[in-house]
Structure 1
Amino acid sequence: MKVGTLTYHDTRNYGAVLQAYALQRTIENLGVDCEIIDYKSEYLNQVYKIKSFNDIKSIKEFIKWILTITHDKKSKLKFDKFNETKQKFSIDSYTKENISEVNNIYDCFFVGSDQVWNLNLNDIDTTYFLDFVSDNDKKFSYAASFGYKSVPNNYLDITTKNLNLFKKIAVREEQGKHIIENMLGKTAQVVLDPTLLLEKESWSKIEENINTLNKDYILVYSVAATPSLFEFAKKLSKEKNCEIIYINRSYINKLGMKNIRSASPEEFLGYISGAKYIVTSSFHGVAFALNYKKEFFYELDTKPQNNNSRLESIIDIVGLKDREIINGTNNKVDENIDYNKVDSILKEERSKSINYLNDIIKSIKKVGNK
């Protein structure tokens, strides 16, 4: 039996490549062959490509390009190497024109876990609805996300039509479950992000040890680099006598901390592993803090249009709302997280999520043996 997964894998984003890796490995751990389908989205390739000099259209863009191009090229090489050495891809690459050829290769398909159903992100690419799969009984999702609170009216028909054809749907947050129930009248299971399906021991095998500071450090990893997040990190640094390491892609250095701009996915895990504290506004910042049992603090995005739902969802599951940074402060800096309790919760959620995958694989095997 052979399984194909489809996701946003070809990016320089730690969460994206590591969740793709984790889902593929988890399915293989269930005893079947699994590959990430190397689908090349024309639109996303343009979004994530590194600009050349000829792409520059203004003085401001030129200055930013000069300050980031070396880091961007180095980062791309590292992500490409991770994909070549750690990921398991389909032998061939595919475009929208020829992806239907994979029907002859895979026995079932999983799409997830990123915002694969956010049509604003992928230029209305219905490939991520598995529209190329000829047999609807082979269409499944795992931890898929919409990335919006409700499906915009202009996407409602195309979304409803395509998702009605899925055999089973699993989403990564309660918000997605409510959308499926209200839009389709179907049930959807909420499952863990793939990065939480693999435990620390698995991640430690691929992390790269970082020869860094000789003292404890706070790792800052943000989606929205707000002044309040750094205000909190700096106060924590003084109080706990820790240095600050900031993983980012900004073209401006943050003063008073070590700026890391081109870490590989393996190095990213190494920085997580070595941190005393993690301060983050990223879902995957929280996910890996949980995997590595780190003391962490998180901040939600206060903008009206935000992607807080999955972060709020995992925080609710593990019961750690008191680790939220509000207005640059948190009063739990001297209290440790009860990881016995957290691990017990995650173990149960992990079991339910893996059972969802396993039940599907068993059902496909059963059909294939008839």
Structure 2
Amino acid sequence: MRIGIVTFWQSDDNYGQQLQCWALQRYLKKLGHEPFLIRYLYKESVWRKWLKIMVKTALIYPLLGWWRHREVRRMEAVNRVKNKVRRFEEFRDNHINQTQRIYGTLKELRLDPPVADVYIGGSDQIWHPVLLRWKDSRAFWLDFGGDRVRRIAYAASFGVDKCPSGLQAELSGRLSRFDALSVREESGVSICQAAGKEAVHVLDPTLLLSKDDYLSLMEDIPGKFSPYMYIYSINISKKEDIRWSELRGFAEREGLSLIVTPASGYLPGRELFEGVEYRYATIPEWLSLIRYSGFVVTTSFHGVVFCICFHKPFIYFPLSGTHAKGNSRVLNLLSKLSLSDNVWKVPGDFERIYNLPVDWDKVEELLAPLRDKSVSFLKQVLS
């Protein structure tokens, strides 16, 4: 079957976003289907852009100070230059089947919908409640195409633990056209039930595949065998978010060099650390950096996923403040795989976790039924 997929896809530096898109296509191809990415580029309305500018000008910039605003703008400009080295667009062109056309509005999708037997929405936070307020975001709820096209959600995420009560009716309406629903977080099951729809909790698409699938992307990447610790720096605003003083001191004592890849998530990527080697890696290079590292430090869900995939020792630093909501899916996964001890909790934890033995056979044993459940969902709804 031809399967059109709607998800977030346009990042120039978020490795997890690109790999979840690639992984779902890879798995669907294994099932004998013809998946492709529907390149929908959600655009803010003109009035909303002006509203944001007015709010920033009147409220945010005076509080932050113009100097800080200028620093953020400078950082974004620097990132645009450095992100070219990552070659994400080249990866999409070479490894992800996609529509030739980029759709900019819901109207464009409705007037000329991609030809497919099935539309899939997911993965990623394509169902965040903020998007419920704007009509064009209905594209993420697959509100286009004919009635004969089956509509399925795979590992779609709301990005919150519950939907605001004032948006329940809108959500219920948007879910009404779906033939089958699955969500990335357990909280998403409850949100769907509150909207009158049943949903299944499934794994992120990156966990549907085996190590060998990812090795196929890395065939031409030489390994780096000198001992190093790899830091995937995403959603970090200051050095001590990952206990930098403790981490650096330990690396020096152990004779480990430090390699850092900054990336953007809730926050733009930044070069925060001194005395390290910064690598603006391509996607195959990023996978290789994890594979050949002696130890991985991350605040990222997908950073954790690929440590599990390559059986790499790691430490997860939970996010704090307004971004702490992003911890739940990581902590939930680690709990199910008996890896909760890899989460930093108190000062001095770094050395304990670095020396922590991991029974990877047990991890794979615990992961297998979760993967089987996710695979069964896809096979059943696509049969």
Question: Does TM, scored on the shorter chain, surpass 0.5?
Answer: yes
| C-alpha contact (below 8 Å) 1:137/1:167 kept by paired residues | no
Indicate the residue corresponding to 1:368 in structure 2: none
Q: Counterparts of 1:251 and 1:203 in 2: how far apart (Å)?
A: 27
SS at 2:314 equivalent? strand
Q: Counterparts of 2:250 and 2:29 in 1: how far apart (Å)?
A: 41
Indicate the residue corresponding to 2:53 in structure 1: none
Indicate the residue corresponding to 2:207 in structure 1: 196
1:277 aligns with 2:298: no
Give the CA deviation at 1:65: 4.7
Which among 270, 294, 306 is matched to residue 312 of structure 2? 294
What code does the residue aligned with 1:191 have? V
- Which deviates further from its counterpart, 220-229 or 341-350? 220-229
1:206 aligns with 2:217: yes
5+ long unaligned stretches in structure 1? 48-56, 363-370
Give the CA deviation at 1:211: 6.4
Please report the TM-score for the alignment, with normalisation by the length of structure 2: 0.83
| C-alpha contact (below 8 Å) 2:110/2:144 kept by paired residues | yes
4+ long deviations beyond 4 Å: 57-68, 101-104
Indicate the residue corresponding to 1:366 in structure 2: none
Indicate the residue corresponding to 2:9 in structure 1: 9
Give the CA deviation at 1:99: 1.0
Indicate the residue corresponding to 2:103 in structure 1: 94
1:175 aligns with 2:187: yes
SS at 2:127 equivalent? coil
Give the CA deviation at 1:59: 5.5
| C-alpha contact (below 8 Å) 1:7/1:128 kept by paired residues | yes
Indicate the residue corresponding to 2:39 in structure 1: 38
What code does the residue aligned with 1:258 have? E
- Which deviates further from its counterpart, 168-177 or 126-135? 126-135
| C-alpha contact (below 8 Å) 1:39/1:93 kept by paired residues | yes
Relative to 1, partners in 2 of residues 1:40 and 1:293: Cα closer, same or farther, differing over 3 Å? same
Matches within 5 A, 1:300-319: 300-305=318-323, 306-319=325-338
SS at 1:9 equivalent? coil
Question: C-alpha offsets along residues 138-195 of structure 1, whole Å, 9 cap, x if unaligned?
Answer: 11100000001111234322112111331111111111112112332x3311111011
SS at 2:321 equivalent? coil
Q: Counterparts of 1:232 and 1:121 in 2: how far apart (Å)?
A: 40
Q: Counterparts of 2:29 and 2:381 in 1: how far apart (Å)?
A: 13
Q: Counterparts of 2:18 and 2:131 in 1: how far apart (Å)?
A: 17
Matches within 5 A, 1:125-144: 125-135=137-147, 138-144=150-156
What code does the residue aligned with 1:188 have? A
Please report the TM-score for the alignment, with normalisation by the length of structure 1: 0.86
SS at 1:39 equivalent? coil
Q: Counterparts of 2:371 and 2:246 in 1: how far apart (Å)?
A: 32
| C-alpha contact (below 8 Å) 2:2/2:35 kept by paired residues | yes
Give the CA deviation at 1:223: 3.2
How many residues are matched? 349
User: RMSD in angstroms over aligned alpha carbons?
Assistant: 2.6
Give the CA deviation at 1:264: 1.8
| C-alpha contact (below 8 Å) 2:229/2:294 kept by paired residues | yes
- Which deviates further from its counterpart, 271-280 or 199-208? 199-208
5+ long unaligned stretches in structure 2? 50-60, 264-268
Question: C-alpha offsets along residues 188-232 of structure 1, whole Å, 9 cap, x if unaligned?
Answer: 1111101111111111111362565x6211111133325151345
Give the CA deviation at 1:255: 1.0
Q: Counterparts of 1:312 and 1:102 in 2: how far apart (Å)?
A: 42
What code does the residue aligned with 1:275 have? S
- Which deviates further from its counterpart, 173-182 or 235-244? 235-244
Q: Counterparts of 2:200 and 2:347 in 1: how far apart (Å)?
A: 35
Relative to 1, partners in 2 of residues 1:121 and 1:259: Cα closer, same or farther, differing over 3 Å? farther
SS at 2:260 equivalent? strand
1:215 aligns with 2:232: no
What code does the residue aligned with 1:293 have? H
